Amino acid sequence: MKIELVRIGNSRGIRIPKAIIEQCGFGDTVELHVEKNCVVIAPDRSPRQGWREAFASAGSSSGDSVLLDLPPSGFDAEEWTW
């Protein structure tokens, strides 16, 4: 789809068709950045959005203690005071 750049003061802008706004889930604000010489417009997401669901889908953390049960290192024995 070709869209003309519209003058807005000293800047230029585009009009995004309603169907594309709805398809992309844009709200009142968007994230804008350049990637490999292309302008990328993405929905504005709050920090950590979706983290709760991602943690829940990762499963139980009941077996995580095994990962933390490491033998003491030289740092633990000589340089660290508990």
Where does 1-59 sit in CATH, by number? 2.10.260.10
Cβ–Cβ < 8 Å for 15, 3: yes
Q: Answer whether 45's CB lies under 8 Å from 51's CB.
A: no
- Cα distance between residue 46 and residue 35, in whole Å: 21
pLDDT digits over 48-75, tens only? 888 888 888 887 766 666 666 677 777 7
- The whole-angstrom separation of Cα 6 and Cα 14 is 6
Tens digits of per-residue pLDDT, 20-54?
999 999 999 999 999 999 999 999 887 788 888 88
**Per-residue model confidence (pLDDT) at position 56:** 85
Place of tokens 């929905």: 43
